[in-house]
Structure 1
Amino acid sequence: MSKARFQLVHPNFAPRAKAISEPTLVEARLQQLSPDLSTELLYNAVLTGLGSRNDTTLASAVTAAGVQQWLKTVEALRTQLSAMGWHIHNERNCPLISTPDRSVSIVVMTGNRETGKLGAEDPTNQTEKGAVVERFVHGNRQLELFNQDSLKLAKTRQKETQVWVFLYHYDQTVNEVRFELAYPTGFGKKKIEEWGERLILGSIPNQPDDFDVAGDRPNAPPTVDVEPKTGTF
């Protein structure tokens, strides 16, 4: 009789996300989520945020560059998509934009240095998040556990929503912004710990002409940890 083999799994082990980086495959996957989504649209949102970052000066507050970049990235993304019929809404200070049928929502977050690249680790959000983010990550997880085609389920059941994170990271070492659209499925210690899928969107180099960009501490406004209101989004 052969002996059974057992593999010990570290309690903090998190499965790696399915990552797509080939441009044509990324574009095709974005179109599956919504015909309105494209690499160009997401690129333009990041570029707008980067421009706002570079508008800060040495006289600005030390956190101004990161804060302004996040604010304008959110605004640019929601402005573009709302013009196509997407819904702008907020869940307890968490700004979201959702497809007309509410099957897909997107939220913008700053990520750590693993954002936008195929490294040894998957990324996580830069600043701590509260109950609202925990709730929608848990909802994503439930969709994945109970249905192999969670997007189809979300489209057929109006109460269900896939929430994707538009994650970007400004790398001061190489002066570039890397960004991706990722589907969070695990949350703990106020950070996203697992991703079901990552669409790697590339990077934008930054070469401001006449000043050094102010530092980021933190890279985006801190999130208030509040209890979510009832209802879905």
Structure 2
Amino acid sequence: MYEDRPPLDPHPLSPYVAWAGHRNRDSILETLKTLLPKNKAHVLEFASGSGMHLHYFAPHFEHLQFHPTDMNEEVFPNIEKLTAESGLGNIRKPRRLDLTQPDTWPDPDEEEFHAIYCINIFQVAPVSIADGMMQCASEVLADDGLLFIYGPFKIDGRFTTPSNEEFDRILRSAGVPEWGLKDTADLNRAAAKHGMKLDKAMDMPANNFALIYRRG
């Protein structure tokens, strides 16, 4: 069903996003199994979109409570529909979270998360959101918590593969200023500003990376 890539469309409910999400979800799941807490804890998802990743992961972590968020409330009915259909009891109601608006972030005095994850967002979002992402993570993560960021990136200004360079060219040809592969160096600078640091960069299938940040 997802062998042929649909036309590029970053809308969270588009066929392209569904194709991309199904393509690598198993490798992400296996990586998360090695990283997410083994005891009861709360996990925050940035940019949940349609909720497809959330509902694929949650059945494998019944001891965890997942908190979906997105800046676009248009996707909330789809997330709630998937939750109702799945019967899962460890997914909270979606809520609005805009990384550029701190007043939409969880209150660290009321909620603490042991893990945050964000999947396939930076190639279609401005790199400036890295600042809000790192600041939010530094405020709401537990001392031993982690921030997991997945997607394709440049490393120190270089493309790691010809296919990633071609993907960047395709994204930029759309004429949307913020589209294109971002550099991990920019994320690391944002992290340092807010007391976070890159703990590990893991190679993933299809020329993607899993970046794990923790408090510095």
Would you say same fold, with TM above 0.5?
Answer: no
Pick 1 or 2: higher relative contact order, CA cutoff 8 A, min separation 6. Answer: 1
| Higher normalized helix content (fraction of residues) | 2
| TM-score (structure 1 length as normaliser) | 0.28
